[in-house]
Amino acid sequence: MQTIAHWLDGKAFAGTSEATAPVTNPATGAVTGQVALAGVADTRAAIDSAAKAFPAWRDTSLTRRTQILFRFRELLNERREELARLITAEHGKVLSDAIGEVSRGLEVVEFACGIPYLLQGGYTENASTKVDIFSVRQPLGPVAIISPFNFPAMVPMWFFPLAIAAGNTVVLKPSEKDPSASLWLARLWAEAELPAGVFTVLQGDKVAVDELLDNPGVKAVSFVGSTPIARYVYQRGTAAGKRVQALGGAKNHMVVLPDADLDLAADAAVNAGFGSAGERCMAISVVVAVGGSADALVGKIAERAGTIRTGDGTRGADMGPLVTRAHRDRVAGYIAAGESAGATVVLDGRGVEADGAAEGFWLGPTILDHVATDMSVYTDEIFGPVLSVVRVGSYDDALALVNANPYGNGTALFTNDGGAARRFHNEVEVGMVGINVPIPVPMSYYSFGGWKNSLFGDAHAHGADGVRFFTRTKAVTTRWLDPSHGGLNLGFPQNK
List the beta bridge partners of residue 22. 34
Q: What is the DSSP string of 101-151?
A: HHHHHHHHHHHHTTHHHHT---EEEEEETTEEEEEEEEE-SEEEEE--SS-
Residue whose C-alpha is closest to residue 401's, from 422, 427, 421: 427
Compute CA distances 198 → 47, 62, 195, 473, 484, whole Å: 11, 15, 6, 22, 40
Residue 76 CA to residue 105 CA, distance in Å, equals 10
Helix axis angle, 294-305 to 262-274, nearest 10°: 50
Amino acid letter, 59: D
Q: Give the number of other Cβ atoms within 10 Å of residue 201's Cβ.
A: 28
Q: Give the number of other Cβ atoms within 10 Å of residue 295's Cβ.
A: 11
From the CA atom positions of the chain, what is the Rg in Å? 24
The continuous run of DSSP H or E covering 390 comes out as: strand 386-392
Q: Establish whether 281 is a catalytic residue.
A: yes
Q: Which of 281, 282, 297, 389 is catalytic?
A: 281
* Contact status, residue 151 vs residue 101, Cβ threshold 8 Å: yes
Enumerate the active-site residues.
Answer: 281
